[in-house]
Amino acid sequence: MIQTAEITTTPISGLYPEQIFDAPIHTEHWTWVKFETDSYDTFYGQFKGEPRQIAISNENDCCYVLTDLLLYEINRAQPRQFTTLNYDDVGGLLRNVTLTPSGQVMLSDYYTIFISKHKNLDTSKEFEQQITPIETPIMIDYIEFKEWNNHLLSIHALDFYTQQPVQLMFNAQTNEITQII
């Protein structure tokens, strides 16, 4: 089972096993991810698109790789089983992905933060049916998920109207976002 994942540079060819996570989209840009299993085996994955983020947790059976084009959901026990979510299907551009301490998927585009209704996404269903937008105290732009501290996620963004930086905190126990003043 995959235990760790990190975005990396292209590995030396043949040094480690490699897996291409293909998708029906054309691009010249690729993301490389180094995976390590619970038996300390290392392999590299190649994903379509430029790198954004990775989300992995022992509380979720899947690992998520976000590129500028696609969101990949990879089965941690059987990495050859994966699905992709094309941004065109959701009508936007995903910028962030993380997993809450309980393993729920959290995503954002530039303006909105979403949380999944279930632990894993189901690409056979409409994206909007699987997520819930989280209300923010002010309208925001250019959202960036930072780091988790227990059940609190630090979020940096810009005030939509003034374009001034704001700091927000998501509480995974209450699913609420507050502004840090």
pLDDT reported for residue 124? 67
Domain that holds residue 78: 2-146
Q: Fill in the amino acid letter for 145.
A: F
Please report whether residue 57 resides in a domain. yes
Q: What is the pLDDT along the chain (181 residues), one digit of tens a residue?
A: 999 999 999 999 999 999 999 998 899 999 999 999 999 999 999 999 999 999 999 999 999 999 999 999 999 999 999 999 877 665 568 999 999 999 999 999 999 999 998 888 776 677 777 889 999 999 999 999 999 999 999 999 999 999 999 999 999 999 999 999 8
Please report whether residue 74 resides in a domain. yes
Pick from 173, 80, 71, 172: nearest CA to 120: 71
pLDDT reported for residue 91? 57
pTM of structure: 0.93
pLDDT reported for residue 129? 79
How many separate domains does the chain show? 1
Cα end-to-end distance, the chain, whole Å: 42
Helix (H) or strand (E) holding 128: helix 127-130
DSSP letter assigned to residue 178: E
Pick from 55, 148, 139: nearest CA to 94: 55
Pick from 48, 121, 126, 50: nearest CA to 83: 121
Residues 41, 115: Cα–Cα separation, whole Å: 32
pLDDT reported for residue 89? 62
Please report whether residue 50 resides in a domain. yes
Please report whether residue 132 resides in a domain. yes
Residues 139, 149: Cα–Cα separation, whole Å: 24
pLDDT reported for residue 20? 97
Backbone angles phi, psi at 142, to 5 degrees: 55, 55
Q: Name 159's Cβ contacts closer than 8 Å, sequence gap at least 6.
A: 138, 139, 140, 141, 165, 166
- Taking a C-beta distance cutoff of 8 angstroms, is the pair 118, 99 a contact? no
pLDDT reported for residue 7? 98
Please report whether residue 159 resides in a domain. no
Please report whether residue 80 resides in a domain. yes
Residues 41, 61: Cα–Cα separation, whole Å: 18
Please report whether residue 161 resides in a domain. no
pLDDT reported for residue 85? 85
